[in-house]
């Protein structure tokens, strides 16, 4: 999508979600929550647990665990990571021989796992590097991935996760010289 920003023409070409944590860490958190939600010691008081759980037969216990797991899966705590843990976006665009990235993030002081929806606001330009007409397709792709990797390692994104997996899948199939405005403006 071509647009004008402050009098300069630029081409937006990719948006990368930024997550509160990696998918693996999210799954570990989910597992801990599930363990707590399905723990008979937390569900029953001591007397009820003795009668229903400690003295119950194995089939009854398995049915209860299955019911608790099913209940957990339908709860607000079992939301899918990909669509519910995003805390920001990096919008990549090109203009006048530069590739830039703007960061938009939720406008809240403390980012928690169970946060309520918050508006996204412009945070800062987080990437800017030159591309040249003589750069090969591979060189342009490598520059993009290297800059995103460096950004992931920066203090701004400490304890956050920039999701570049989809870009990595597509990056070798994109004709960067035709897509980007290298020398067109």
DSSP of 58-106: HHHHHHHHHHHHHHHHTSGGG--HHHH-EEEEEEEEEETTEEEEEEEEE
Residues 95, 54 share a domain: no
Q: At residue 185, does pLDDT exceed 50? A: no
pTM for the whole structure = 0.74
Domain extent at residue 41: 27-78
Please, what is the Cα angle at 139 between 133 and 141, to 5 degrees?
105
From 112-116, 174-178, 180-184, the region with the lowest mean pLDDT: 112-116
Residue 54 inside a domain? The answer is: yes
Residues 172, 105 share a domain: yes
Distance CA 33, CA 27 (A): 10
pLDDT in tens, 109-126: 666 555 566 778 999 999
Q: At residue 52, does pLDDT exceed 70? A: no
Contacts of 18 (CB under 8 A, 6+ apart): 86, 87, 88, 89, 90, 103, 105, 157, 160, 161, 162, 163
Residues 172, 116 share a domain: yes
Residues 43, 104 share a domain: no
Residues 113, 55 share a domain: no
From 5-9, 61-65, 76-80, the region with the lowest mean pLDDT: 5-9
Residues 90, 166 share a domain: yes
Residues 167, 118 share a domain: yes
Average pLDDT score over the chain: 82
Phi/psi-derived region of residue 182, left when phi > 0, alpha when psi is between -120 and 50, beta in every other case: beta
99-105: average pLDDT: 95
């Amino acid at each position: 999508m071509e647009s004008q920003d402050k009098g300069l023409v630029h081409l937006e070409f990719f948006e990368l979600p930024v997550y509160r944590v990696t998918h693996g860490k999210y799954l570990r958190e989910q597992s801990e929550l599930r363990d707590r939600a399905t723990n008979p010691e937390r569900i029953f008081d001591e007397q009820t647990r003795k009668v229903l759980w400690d003295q119950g037969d194995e089939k009854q216990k398995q049915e209860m665990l299955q019911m608790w797991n099913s209940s957990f899966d339908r709860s607000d705590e079992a939301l899918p990571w990909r669509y519910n843990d995003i805390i920001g976006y990096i919008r990549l665009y090109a203009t006048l021989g530069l590739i830039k990235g703007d960061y938009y993030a939720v406008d809240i002081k403390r980012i928690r796992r169970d946060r309520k929806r918050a508006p996204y606001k412009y945070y800062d330009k987080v990437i800017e590097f030159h591309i040249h007409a003589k750069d090969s397709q591979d060189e342009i792709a490598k520059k993009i991935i290297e800059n995103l990797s460096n950004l992931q390692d920066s203090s701004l994104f400490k304890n956050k996760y920039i999701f570049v997996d989809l870009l990595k899948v597509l990056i070798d199939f994109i004709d960067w010289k035709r897509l980007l405005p290298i020398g067109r403006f």
